[in-house]
Amino acid sequence: MTTTDPLSPVSRTALSVALVRAYESSRPEPLFTDPYAAAFVTASGMPMPTSGPASGLAKGLVVHGILRTRFYDDRLLAAGADQVVLLAAGLDARAYRLDWPAGTRLFELDLAPVLTFKQQVLDELGADPAGERTTLPGDLLDPDWPRRLVEAGLDPGRPTVWLAEGLLVYLTADQAAGLLTAVGTLSAPGSRLLLEKGRDVTSTPQDPALAHITDLWQGGLGPHTHEWLDAHGWNTRLTLLDEVAAVYGRPFPPGSGPSTTGFIEAVRTGDNGRDSSAR
């Protein structure tokens, strides 16, 4: 199936992620297998690359995307919550490709065109989710999304595991803080939040081939994301990308340099709806 691309510039970055996942899935010993990623790319009409990434930044982003996928796969399954929310889910196929425990309910939030495109591809493949899957179209900058998520079946009285993969960098600091505050109000003690450490986008190297991605970066809460969470009712654990690369045996390619980015796993410690730091 080939479609007319209905996605916004930010949403189209999900196709770049799918491309990375398709590439990794085709390797002899992949860190993960995503059998749907290549179908998303093909259906979009995006041309498949004829060579690997050229610049150090591009190589680093590919390795980051691969390690990030596997790290979040492992942490989502280890979290033990039967409610999982994928914020700005994009073309994430975890509801279909991971071995979720019986009774797991997954919620995917994203813009309507993204979810529609995704569902068309999955339907053509005859894909069935491994857990109960609910999609919720809408804009995460709309303050009404928490109410709609509860109406769709999320129980804020029970622990939830949240994934904000590759999301906050596309938001301003105020938007990121507002989103994370909303997540906190829906998170019972013991809930978990997975997201990136954040980066200083003002020092990002320039690569014209990646401008369609990097020009959209607004920085979110930057390198201090974990500190913000610690001050707002969460207890964070930071794992640097270098550590993840060592664990999975995927060192950075020559020329990409060491990374100061990483991944945050935050556990909700405050009462639901109130930050513990306010008491």
Q: Measured between alpha carbons, how far is 215 from 33 in angstroms, rounded to an integer? A: 30
Superfamily of domain 55-278: Vaccinia Virus protein VP39 (3.40.50.150)
- The whole-number pLDDT of residue 198 equals 81
User: CA 209, CA 191: separation in Å to the nearest integer?
Assistant: 39
Mean pLDDT of the chain: 87
pLDDT cut 90: percent of the chain above it:
68
pLDDT given for residue 109 in this prediction:
98
pLDDT at 253: 63
Are 243 and 249 in contact, with CB atoms under 8 Å apart? Answer: no
Percent helix / strand / coil, the chain, rounded to 5: 45, 15, 45
- What does the pLDDT look like over 172-183, one tens digit per residue? 999 999 999 999
| Helical spans, DSSP H, in the chain | 9-25, 37-44, 56-79, 94-97, 112-125, 145-151, 173-185, 211-214, 225-230, 241-248
The answer to which of 32-36, 212-216, 232-236 has the lowest mean pLDDT is: 212-216
Give the pLDDT mean for 91-96. 97
- Residue entry with tokens 């109410």: 147
The lowest-confidence range among 102-106, 122-126, 268-272 is: 268-272
Report the sign of the C-alpha dihedral through residues 177, 179, 181, 184, in that order.
Answer: negative
Q: Which residue has the higher pLDDT, 187 or 47?
A: 187
Tens digit of pLDDT for each residue in 29-55?
Answer: 999 999 999 999 999 887 766 555 656
Question: What does pTM read for this prediction?
Answer: 0.89
- 126 conformational bin, left if phi > 0, alpha if psi -120 to 50, beta if neither: left
Distance from C-alpha of 134 to C-alpha of 247, rounded to nearest angstrom = 33
User: Given a cut of 80, is residue 258 above it in pLDDT?
Assistant: no
Q: Note the pLDDT of residue 261.
A: 84
Domain range summary for the chain, segments of one domain joined by +: 55-278
pLDDT at 217: 78
Give the pLDDT confidence of 120-169 residue by residue, as tens digits: 999 999 999 998 999 999 999 999 999 999 999 999 999 999 999 999 99
Residue 207: pLDDT band with limits 50, 70, 90: low
Q: What percent of the chain has pLDDT over 70?
A: 82
**Higher pLDDT residue, 225 or 251?**
225
Give the per-residue pLDDT at 274: 43
Residue 4's pLDDT band (boundaries 50, 70, 90)?
Answer: very low
